[in-house]
Structure 1
């Protein structure tokens, strides 16, 4: 199916040091709640959009942000590349969910969950043709873990290394309700989504098609804008 090692197991697994896959973490009811929240966020104040890259390319996924607005390759409080509005606030209940996710991934004894304070979320919607190229999440000043939640259609999630966009990498099938957390030595690993499996969404979650991916990040930023960096 892919060039990497495809991990099909549905047990909790450490894919790389600090990178943990927890299948089926979100119950159906919680998934429905998140779908409804995402619909509300997508309506604004900054609507969901296809991000335009500096070279003129347009990302195939559609994105809406909370707390901080991400545009290549920095964070701002207002969406200058969309409509100039201030992004919707990052809700406290979503931070609570992020802390619970760290406990599920790393265990209560790990201790990172207690101090985890995510202040930005990127909500990405993938239709059947959307893809995400290999990239690093490196605009944050904090090295706290990234929490990734999947709802809707299944996908291939390619998790790589911190040095290059190529091999070695591992392909993991993410299903609706799955949790993926990457921190520690894997915090700045390259990752991407080379394939969506249309028609695999459970209508019970409130989506008939497409994949939602909600990623929570701790930016470490204050004020109005984060640093600008190259891709």
Structure 2
């Protein structure tokens, strides 16, 4: 992954980079919001702490997760689903902060998806060594709405494939403030994150935070 990052001069990177039909990487889109975003994550995590969820097969995920909005994505021995309540506390998930909604809607519009109003945000925390295997976001009810994914903290290599798991996969370096939006013909493309390497970010230290906005209900 080092070569992937070293080979790209981010100062010369385009603000908008098409990565597939219907999928766009917006370099630095979240930077104007970074202070408000990170403060909001702290508030959410105080109410609904990060936890490492268990997949139906019994695998403990390396990525720690929490949620905000009308529903949160959860996984356990019974399967994958959206739940209006935090299963750890039995309380509703924290409300989605206004700054989250504004950024998600702006990024979606810039990528060509107007009127995006997410009702769920999955917040992932990656410590060094954590990864997210290739998967599809297919637990949502309306596939006509895009996915908006915001990267904060340590860099990561984003994998983006196709509808079939065996389709060719491309890798894109994601840095603090980058936003990926995909929908339409690429809405059900497989995607994932390679193992996050150790490092220190000036604002977040040894971690990466990812916000993934969905229209889930």
- TM-score, normalization: structure 1? 0.82
Please tell me whether the aligned partners of residues 109 and 116 of structure 2 are also in contact (alpha carbons under 8 angstroms): no
Aligned length in residues: 205
Q: Does 1:55 align with 2:57?
A: yes
Q: Does 1:101 align with 2:107?
A: yes
Please tell me whether the aligned partners of residues 40 and 97 of structure 2 are also in contact (alpha carbons under 8 angstroms): no
Which residue is 1:226 aligned to? Answer: none
Which residue is 2:83 aligned to? Answer: 76
Residue from 193, 204, 208 that aligns with 2:205: 208
Which residue is 1:169 aligned to? Answer: 169
Partners of 2:150 and 2:40 lie apart in 1 by 14
Q: After superposition, what is the alpha-carbon deviation per residue over 1:94-123, rounded to whole angstroms, capped at 9, x for unaligned?
A: 2222111123323xxxxx32x211100001
Counterpart mapping for 1:103-118 below 5 A: 103-106=109-112, 112-113=113-114, 115-118=115-118
User: Could you tell which deviates more after superposition, 93-102 or 206-215?
Assistant: 93-102
Q: Which has the higher contact order (CA 8 A, sep 6+)?
A: 1
How far is the alpha carbon of 1:7 from its aligned partner?
8.6
Q: After superposition, what is the alpha-carbon deviation per residue over 1:153-174, rounded to whole angstroms, capped at 9, x for unaligned?
A: 000000111111x341110000
Q: After superposition, what is the alpha-carbon deviation per residue over 1:139-184, rounded to whole angstroms, capped at 9, x for unaligned?
A: 10112000011010000000111111x3411100000010100001
Q: After superposition, what is the alpha-carbon deviation per residue over 1:69-116, rounded to whole angstroms, capped at 9, x for unaligned?
A: 211311111122x2222211223442222111123323xxxxx32x21
Structure 2, gaps ≥5 residues long: none
Structure-2 change in CA distance of 1:180 and 1:200 (3 Å): farther
Please tell me whether the aligned partners of residues 37 and 100 of structure 2 are also in contact (alpha carbons under 8 angstroms): no
How far is the alpha carbon of 1:13 from its aligned partner?
1.4
How far is the alpha carbon of 1:37 from its aligned partner?
1.1
Structure 1, gaps ≥5 residues long: 107-111, 222-231
Residue from 20, 25, 28 that aligns with 1:21: 25
- TM-score, normalization: structure 2? 0.87
Partners of 2:176 and 2:170 lie apart in 1 by 19
The alignment's C-alpha RMSD in Å is 2.0
Which residue is 2:67 aligned to? Answer: 65
